[in-house]
Amino acid sequence: MNGSKLCHRQAIVGSIISARIVLSAWRPVATARFEKATLIDAKSTETVTAAFDASLADVMRRVVDWTLQQGNAASATGSG
């Protein structure tokens, strides 16, 4: 390669979602923050897009799980 250095490009791709469950009058019952960050080789738009899709899917799955858990806990205590 004629002595030239190769630059290794990396990127951090991630998703952050803050979720809140509220009752009437917007009174918060529970709040949580969900994050997923991944270090990837930024070789192409497709690589970055796939990493972002995977990151968002992971975060959304955890938001849904948390929401269901909060609903079950509220039902068990009679506050839901």
User: How high is the pLDDT of residue 41?
Assistant: 84
Residues 6+ apart with CB under 8 A from 3: none
User: Could you give phi then psi for residue 8, rounded to 5 degrees?
Assistant: -95, 110
pTM assigned to the model: 0.73
More confident residue, 55 or 12: 55
The model's confidence at residue 24, banded by pLDDT at 50, 70 and 90, is confident
Regarding predicted confidence, which is higher, 31 or 8? 31
